[in-house]
Structure 1
Amino acid sequence: MKTYELVVPCHFGLEAVLKREIYDLGYEISRVEDGRVSFQGDAEAVCRANIFLRTAERVLIEVGRFRATTFEELFQGIKALPWEDYIPVNGKFWVKKASSIKSKLFSPSDIQSIAKKAMVERMKQHYDVEWFAEDGAPYPVRIFLLKDEVMVTLDTSGDSLHKRGYRTLTSKAPLTETLAASLLLLTPWRPDRILVDPFCGSGTFPIEAAMIAAGIAPGMNREFTAEQWTNLIDRKLWYECVKEAEEMIHTDVKVDIQGYDIDGDVIKAARENAKRAGVDHLIHFQQRPVAELHHPKKYGFIVTNPPYGERLEDKADLPKLYGEIGAAFRGLDSWSMYLITSYDEAERYIGRKADKNRKIYNGMLRTYFYQFMGPKPPRRSVRDTAGGDE
């Protein structure tokens, strides 16, 4: 089966999490760049990456790379690529997006226009036609320029992979599903440990945690552009990958995942989202302010996305709010806390310096992932674990 160089974008700063996911799927990493990871894979790998990767933004097939400092070099470079190997004569093809960083060619609209013309010229010669109906399957192209190196790709995903299909109702400042999954996978949380999000909003952290615990593949209930590419990917491969995903689900898993929010309407929306994701029975949602966060269990996790105070009128409330977060955390014996925020005085008002602090871009917003580590739970003896549930 033909193999491709598959390029998988992710949140900037979280490449290591995506690398681990790709390794766990059974593929070897060929390249790591800022905000993306590449690996070799066949048509089945395209399906599996789209369905199983929790932290990927989309899955791209690399058509080619070359240097270009002039529009003529860009035109000739695009024209030299074997488009006929990917796009049939009736395929609908266009440059969905062009981005340029530190390159002499920097106008996205000009890059898009010239690339399309070059593709048409190449395919006119190959198919011996003067005009394309473009009434077949869609083949969106994405082009990236970095320091005058051009990477040309086909987008197999369509809608970004953060659109799992469960979140139709969102709160004011939602965290994307892919970012929430990435941050959860950065922590040492495991499904046998309690997890609480005291600012759960539309429920993204608890829902992603429950999906991880239950083995629910993030992409199994949505569609992908490449499902229509029957010239490249046999449709039965998609069915086989979904079947593989279905066989990995264990929704009877025992977990303690909780989501709180001060807004009752938001909690209602979170419950609806969890129901659509098939994990509502695994999460306890409750209307509750962070000041009332307490729990008798030990060695739990807080993973949360508290308000940042992006609006000036909200900034004044942040010292009190982050003080309440700190007080609640101090009252939880042996717990760990992980929170993402752009508020630069978070540690001051929480009352403790984070053990680790990771800079992460949430869209265009620079945020910090503060990691306050609690002690590890004692190892269970063999006698404790053997037959404990009998």
Structure 2
Amino acid sequence: MATYKLVATAAMGLESIVAREVKDLGYETTVENGKIFFEGDELAIARSNMWLRTADRVKIVMGEFNAYTFDQLFEGTKALPWETLMPVDAAFPVSGKSVKSKLYSVPDCQSIVKKAIVERMKAAYKRMSFLEESGPTYKIEVAIRNDKVTLTVDTSGAGLHKRGYRTGQGEAPLKETMAAALIKLTNWRPDRPFHDPFCGSGTIPIEAALIGQNIAPGFNREFISEEWPVIPESIWEKVRLDAEEAANYDQPLEIYGSDIDHKIIEVAKENAIEAGLGDLIQFKQMQGKDFTASSDYGVIVGNPPYGERIGEEEEVERMYRDMGEVFEQYPTWSKYLITSHPDFEDLYGKKATKKRKLFNGFIRTDYYQYFGQRPPRNTN
């Protein structure tokens, strides 16, 4: 087994949550903006893809070096041991980005990296002619920032938010990774009721159910690195078997999702069925202001409309006022609401216990956290 430098990429603001997930898998981390670095073998690659709920992807860092000229980029790339990862027939498309660097032409950088890898592979595999590229795919990225080159290979394929259960979605779907992060930032436990009053296509309730029963987020999908000869099939089989054994399918859950749109509720039900959770989540067509709860110490997590569309603002502001009036009738419940609206607290009628800046896609939002009363301690 080889040791790789790995990086789990994350949305801005979620780095600490992703780092915690990586540590929970048993790996030491170092954190930069949007990146969580750790070291691990082929098993680590499979496990992190299977289990990271809030990361965007997992990549291998092949090398890092400074380059101010195309020659330096070529030689630095060629010096890396690409043949230890890629077979002679590997297909390796190269994408790129460059920020504040002398080498600013991304197409040229991509082309030079490609040529350098071809030269390295031809020498390593003693090939005179061109490489076929008919085998498994290795997506390579050249990223240059302040003249520092980082070359990575993507091990995930489709982004980790693609869990494999989404049959349909609403107009502004929340990424599954963000939904999982919103839940992980709460005080919810599987023995407490959970409600999303703006559930849309069901992403937050579905992610809550996956967390509640400890079901691996990658259990229902495939990863690009499953095709790589360097990671034996037995490793993927072990990781899937371990995930199956770790799941707690007997954990009872009280999870609700509601939305004003009856069509999207049907989509949410279909998505839950696709995720294998159809009987665990109760979906209902309902306005947020009609929320009721018969039990105490529950958790509300919601991604309500932000009022960013023309003509929508008044309606959304009324909704926030109604929400505050209704939700605050349940003092034992904790409420967690994400929005980009600058006046949310004023409209809701109460200052949040805590708020956290997050990016929902490219929209800067705040996650308003209202902590409910704590349950009394059991003195028995």
In the alignment, what sits opposite 1:386? none
Alignment of 1:140-289 (within 5 A): 140-230=139-229, 232-289=230-287
Residue 101 of structure 2 is matched in structure 1 by 103
Task: Work out the CA distance in 2 between the residues paired with 1:52 and 1:240.
Answer: 13
Look up the equivalent residue of 1:190 and give its one-letter code.
Answer: R
Q: Is the 8 A contact 1:294 1:331 kept in 2?
A: no
Give the gaps of 5 or more residues in structure 1.
384-390
For 1:260 and 1:107, the matched residues in 2 are separated by 48
Opposite residue 103 of structure 1, the aligned amino acid is S
Which has the larger displacement, 135-144 or 234-243? 135-144
String of CA shifts for 1:212-251, please: whole Å, max 9, x gaps.
1111100011111111101x11111001100000111222
Supply the distance in 2 between the matched residues of 1:191 and 1:327 (Cα, whole angstroms).
27
> Which of residues 112, 115, 121 is equivalent to 2:113?
115
User: Is residue 323 of structure 2 the alignment partner of residue 325 of structure 1?
Assistant: yes
Match of 2:40 in 1: 41
Over the aligned positions, Cα root-mean-square deviation in angstroms equals 1.3
The answer for the alignment partner of 1:18 in structure 2 is 18
Tell whether the 8 Å contact from 1:56 to 1:178 is kept in structure 2 after alignment: yes
Q: Aligned to 1:250, what secondary structure does the other structure show?
A: coil
Partners of 2:80 and 2:65 in 1: CA distance: 10
SS in 1 for 2:55: coil
Deviation at 1:103, TM superposition (A): 2.7
Cα deviation, residue 256, structure 1 = 1.2
Post-superposition shift, 1:322?
0.9
Distance in 2 of aligned mates of 1:340 and 1:100: 32
CA displacement, residues 290-310 of structure 1 (integer Å, 9 cap, x when unaligned) = 110121322211101000122
In the alignment, the residues of structure 2 paired with residue 142 and residue 304 of structure 1 have an alpha-carbon distance, to the nearest angstrom, of 35
Counterpart residue number, 1:388: none
Quick check: 2:167–2:274 contact (8 Å CA) kept in 1?
no
Write out per-residue CA displacement over residues 328-376 of structure 1, whole angstroms, 9 at most, x where no aligned residue: 2111122111111111111111111112221111222111111112222
CA distance in 2, matches of 1:334, 1:99: 48
Distance 1:334 1:196 in 2: 14
Assess, with a 3 A threshold, how the Cα gap between structure 1 residues 354 and 100 changes in structure 2: closer, same or farther.
Answer: farther
Q: Secondary structure at the match of 2:80?
A: coil
The C-alpha deviation readout for 1:257-298, integer Å capped at 9, x for no partner, is: 110000111111001101111112211110000110121322
Letter in 2 for 1:217: A
Q: Distance in 1 between matches of 2:323 and 2:72?
A: 56
Shift of 1:71: 2.5
Runs of 4+ in 1 over 4 A off after TM superposition: none
Match of 1:364 in 2: 362
Mean Cα displacement is larger for which, 116-125 or 150-159?
116-125
CA contact (8 A) 2:331 2:373 kept: no
Report SS of the residue matched to 1:377: coil
Q: Does 1:377 align with 2:346?
A: no
Q: How many residues are aligned here?
A: 379
Partner of 1:84: 83
Give, in whole Å, the separation in 1 of the partners of 2:12 and 2:121. Answer: 35
Which sections of structure 2, spanning at least 5 residues, go unmatched? none
Please state if 1:32 is matched with 2:55.
no
Give TM-score, length-normalised by structure 2: 0.97
Q: Match for residue 4 of structure 2?
A: 4
Shift of 1:85: 1.2
Cα distance in 1 between the residues matched to 2:257 and 2:180: 15
- 1:80 deviates by 1.4
Mapped to 2, the partners of 1:380 and 1:268 lie a distance apart of 41
Q: Which amino acid aligns with 1:53?
A: L
Query: Which whole-Å CA distance do the structure 1 matches of 2:311 and 2:103 have between them?
Result: 41
Q: What one-letter code is carried by the residue in structure 1 that aligns with 2:255? A: I
**Quick one: structure 1 residues 38 and 311, their matched pair in 2 at CA, closer, same or farther if it must change by over 3 Å?**
same
What's the CA shift string for 1:140-187, capped at 9, x where partnerless?
112222222211111111000100000121111111001111111111
**Match of 1:176, as an amino acid?**
K
**What SS does the aligned partner of 1:138 have?**
coil
Deviation at 1:100, TM superposition (A): 2.6
| Deviates most, 296-305 or 176-185 | 296-305
How far apart are the structure 1 equivalents of 2:69 and 2:351? 50
Query: When the two structures are superposed, what TM-score results if normalisation uses the length of structure 1?
Result: 0.94
> Structure 2 residue aligned with 1:295, among 293, 308, 330?
293
Counterpart contact for 1:251–1:279, Cα < 8 Å: no
Equivalent residue, structure 2, for 1:387: none
Structure 2: distance between partners of 1:223 and 1:55: 17
